[in-house]
């Protein structure tokens, strides 16, 4: 039986949109009517991936980032009132869309206002416990408020395998009965291809850190033997052509999939979706956390401890390959049975909405 599903995606880089693509494709294949909601570059990507879909623009969280790691958490904290206003606005938008389209179910990838007290609502997130290194008291206070938002949803879906050998580690350690690990997945496909590049560097994330990493990588790549590719992840702005490195400014999913499969080594940010891509594609990698982002720093450190991926530090990049690091051979693919069961459920929330 066809259901109408409101699917909202956070525009905080492209990771939330890309990890949602396999779920959206599955829902479409099952014959459901899916209404997509996002903003910014995530909305642009979804529009390209699903040109025949009903797609609605919503308000932006309008996050601004610190220019250095030392003030990253402070500047984010100062924006909490703005986040709360944005969540309140999107909650009103969610209610209006539910009425307009006759929505049966809601799926939200990290958009905290897309839930409804009378409609089953699932929330996709790998970080159910926020990290605040160095101050356990602040971490406890922040999480009490944060998890109050999580409690608005019927189910919480973690894109990860079950503990103890999961990627998210303590970030998803919440202990609630409505937490479901839905598996590791990627929009990309592993394809055996001849190696064309010794490395591919994929840039992403907020400015000014994206540009700083780009500048550092260009210097380091010039010092390395072999053939290298750089995917800038932005339009051609103030760019001087480089003869030594194959540069791609913006890459479609298909082109990026091909370039990664043709590369021996991947150099990228330590974003969660990027790590899922690396595991799906079985690629050796050097992952570089965005300075100040505790989530990426934790993820890079924990995966380096497991000897799955090498970790390096922006500002002190080391691009030497250590062969002891090897991407794990984990089961990949979302557990769609969890989603099927959700689409046959009725609303059951623990809090008074």
**152-170 burial string, b = 16+ CB within 10 Å, else e?**
bbbbbbbbbbeeeebbbbe
Q: Are residues 65 and 21 in the same domain?
A: yes
Would 231 be classed as within a structural domain?
A: yes
Residue reference for tokens 């790998």: 126
Q: Quick one: pLDDT at residue 134? A: 74
Contacts of 175 (CB under 8 A, 6+ apart): none
Q: Is the pTM of this model over 0.85?
A: yes
**What is the three-class DSSP state of 251?**
coil
CB 209 within 8 A of CB 291: yes
The tokens describing 202, both together, are 């994929």
> How many domains does the chain contain in total?
2
Would 323 be classed as within a structural domain?
A: no
Would 193 be classed as within a structural domain?
A: no
Q: Are residues 249 and 217 in the same domain?
A: yes
Q: Are residues 37 and 181 in the same domain?
A: yes
Q: Are residues 49 and 131 in the same domain?
A: yes
β pairing state of 265-269 and 284-288:
parallel
Q: Are residues 162 and 16 in the same domain?
A: yes
Cα–Cα distance for residue pair 294/132, rounded to 1 Å? 7
For the chain, give the longest Cα–Cα distance. 61
Would 84 be classed as within a structural domain?
A: yes
Would 350 be classed as within a structural domain?
A: no
Would 27 be classed as within a structural domain?
A: yes
Q: Quick one: pLDDT at residue 352? A: 39
Q: Quick one: pLDDT at residue 15? A: 87
Q: Are residues 165 and 234 in the same domain?
A: no
Q: Are residues 37 and 151 in the same domain?
A: yes
Q: Are residues 29 and 166 in the same domain?
A: yes
Q: Are residues 181 and 203 in the same domain?
A: no
Would 190 be classed as within a structural domain?
A: no
Closest CA to 107 of 187, 4, 1: 4
Q: What is the CATH number of the domain that holds 231?
A: 3.40.50.2000
Range of the domain at 154: 4-185+333-342
Q: How many CA atoms lie within 13 A of 49 on its CB side?
A: 22
Q: Is the peptide bond before 51 cis (omega within 30 degrees of 0)?
A: no
Per DSSP, 197 falls in state B
Would 324 be classed as within a structural domain?
A: no
CB 160 within 8 A of CB 167: yes
Cα–Cα distance for residue pair 106/7, rounded to 1 Å? 6
Q: Are residues 214 and 158 in the same domain?
A: no
Residues of the chain scoring pLDDT < 50 = 350-353
Q: Are residues 26 and 162 in the same domain?
A: yes
Q: Quick one: pLDDT at residue 13? A: 75
Number of other CB atoms surrounding residue 56 within 10 Å: 16
Q: Are residues 96 and 206 in the same domain?
A: no
CB 333 within 8 A of CB 317: no
């Amino acid at each position: 039986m066809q259901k109408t599903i409101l699917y909202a995606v956070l525009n905080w880089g492209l990771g939330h949109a890309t990890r949602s693509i396999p779920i959206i494709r599955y829902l479409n294949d099952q014959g459901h009517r899916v209404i997509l909601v996002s903003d910014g570059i995530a909305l642009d990507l979804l529009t390209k991936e699903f040109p025949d879909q009903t797609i609605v623009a919503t308000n932006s969280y309008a996050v601004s980032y610190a220019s250095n790691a030392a003030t990253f958490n402070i500047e984010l904290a100062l924006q909490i009132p703005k986040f709360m206003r944005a969540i309140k606005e999107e909650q009103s938008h969610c209610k209006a869309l539910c009425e307009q389209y006759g929505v049966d179910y809601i799926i939200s990838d990290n958009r905290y206002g897309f839930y409804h007290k009378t409609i089953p609502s699932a929330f996709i997130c790998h970080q159910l416990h926020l990290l605040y290194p160095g101050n356990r008291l602040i971490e406890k206070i922040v999480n009490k408020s944060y998890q109050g938002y999580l409690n608005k949803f019927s189910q919480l879906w973690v894109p990860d395998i079950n503990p103890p050998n999961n990627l998210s580690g303590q970030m998803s350690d919440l202990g609630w009965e409505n937490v479901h690990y839905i598996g590791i997945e990627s929009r990309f496909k592993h394809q055996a291809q001849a190696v064309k590049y010794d490395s591919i560097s994929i840039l992403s994330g907020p400015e000014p850190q994206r540009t700083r990493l780009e500048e550092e990588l260009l210097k380091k790549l010039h010092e390395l033997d072999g053939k290298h590719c750089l995917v800038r992840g932005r339009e051609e702005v103030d760019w001087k052509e480089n003869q030594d490195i194959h540069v791609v400014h913006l890459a479609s999913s298909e082109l990026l999939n091909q370039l990664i499969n043709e590369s021996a080594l991947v150099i990228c940010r330590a974003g969660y979706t990027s790590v899922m891509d690396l595991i799906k594609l079985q690629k050796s990698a050097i992952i570089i956390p965005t300075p100040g982002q505790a989530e990426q720093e934790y993820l890079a450190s924990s995966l380096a401890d497991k000897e799955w991926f090498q970790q390096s530090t922006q500002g002190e990049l080391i691009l030497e390959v250590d062969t002891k690091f090897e991407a794990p051979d984990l089961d990949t693919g979302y557990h769609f049975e969890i989603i099927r069961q959700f689409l046959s459920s009725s609303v059951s929330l623990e809090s008074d909405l």
